[in-house]
Amino acid sequence: MNIAIIPARGGSKRIPRKNIKSFCGKPIIAYSIQAAQDSGLFDRIIVTTDDEEIADVARSYGAEIPFIRPKELSDDHTATIPVIAHAIRALQEQGDSIDAACCIYATAPFVRSEDIQNAYKALITHHKEYAFPVTTFPFPIFRGVKRDEDGNIEMFWPEHFATRSQDLPEAYHDVGQFYWGKPEAWLNGTPIFSKAATTVVLPRHLVQDIDTPEDWLQAELMFKAVFPS
């Protein structure tokens, strides 16, 4: 079976109650649950959380809460892979036979069911352990500079000072919406950003990190422009 696993801990500090905060009219986690449902790919859609309020909201939108995540996997320093691995083990102990598991972040309102479907096709077609979306940087990273406390700058790659932008290779970054993975990859801690993964490309207007209140405001403005009601 295929499962969607949505991590949503309760201890967000920069944006309190971030995972269930209202985003354009409904709890932000609802967008991830809905995209998973609309994809038609999942036998189970679960939320792994340490928070009863988050659990109640997730249930109200159709997700399952088959266990409460332990506190040692719910702090600021816990990485994604151990959280997903824990969920997979818990489901396997309950008797589930898992073919693929998709981690969908709870604060990804731009996530679309068709992108989840396309990444799953890439995972299967390319026989990889992971598949996830990326997008392009808006500016050539090889022309990037670093700045010290006095305002002085230095190029990271000074050899490209005179290189035309159109002659530089395109660079991509992780979208931060979801990651498909084979259960063995999650359980073994295989790095996601490696040759074990394949990717699909999303347009930049569907990508927005939400880490600060300013990010949240920008994301809502973008969402209303991209998905007008």
111: domain CATH number is 3.90.550.10
φ, ψ dihedrals at 54, nearest 5°? -60, -40
Q: What radius of gyration do the chain's Cα atoms show?
A: 19
Flag whether 108 is in a domain: yes
For the range 115-120, what are the long-range contacts, defined as Cβ-Cβ under 8 Å and sequence gap of 24 or more?
115/177, 115/178, 115/200, 115/202, 115/206, 116/35, 116/36, 116/39, 116/41, 116/178, 116/180, 117/39, 117/40, 117/41, 118/200, 119/178, 119/180, 119/199, 119/200, 120/2, 120/39, 120/41, 120/180
Flag whether 106 is in a domain: yes
Flag whether 100 is in a domain: yes
In this predicted structure, the answer to whether residue 194 has a pLDDT above a threshold of 90 is yes
In this predicted structure, the answer to whether residue 229 has a pLDDT above a threshold of 80 is no
In this predicted structure, the answer to whether residue 228 has a pLDDT above a threshold of 90 is no
Tell me what the mean pLDDT of segment 10-22 comes to: 90
In this predicted structure, the answer to whether residue 12 has a pLDDT above a threshold of 90 is no
Flag whether 198 is in a domain: yes
Can you give the pTM of this predicted structure? Answer: 0.94
CA 194 to CA 197: how far, in whole Å? 6
In this predicted structure, the answer to whether residue 77 has a pLDDT above a threshold of 90 is no
Would you call 204 helix, strand, or coil by DSSP?
Answer: helix
For the chain, the residue count is 229
Residue 218 neighbours by CB under 8 Å, 6+ apart:
208
Flag whether 73 is in a domain: yes
Flag whether 208 is in a domain: yes
What the block records as the tokens of 60 is 């109200």
Tell me what the mean pLDDT of segment 58-81 comes to: 93
Tell me what the mean pLDDT of segment 52-62 comes to: 97
Strand residue runs (E) in 118-227: 130-136, 145-147, 153-155, 172-174, 178-181, 197-201
Tell me what the mean pLDDT of segment 62-79 comes to: 92
Flag whether 141 is in a domain: no
* Number of domains present in the structure of the chain: 1
Query: Over the stretch 97-136, which tens digit does the pLDDT of each residue have?
Result: 999 999 999 999 999 999 999 999 999 999 999 999 999 9
Domain containing residue 22: 2-135+173-223
> Confidence band (pLDDT; 50, 70, 90) for 13?
confident
Flag whether 157 is in a domain: no
Burial of 157 per CB tally in 10 Å (0-12, 13-18, 19+): middle
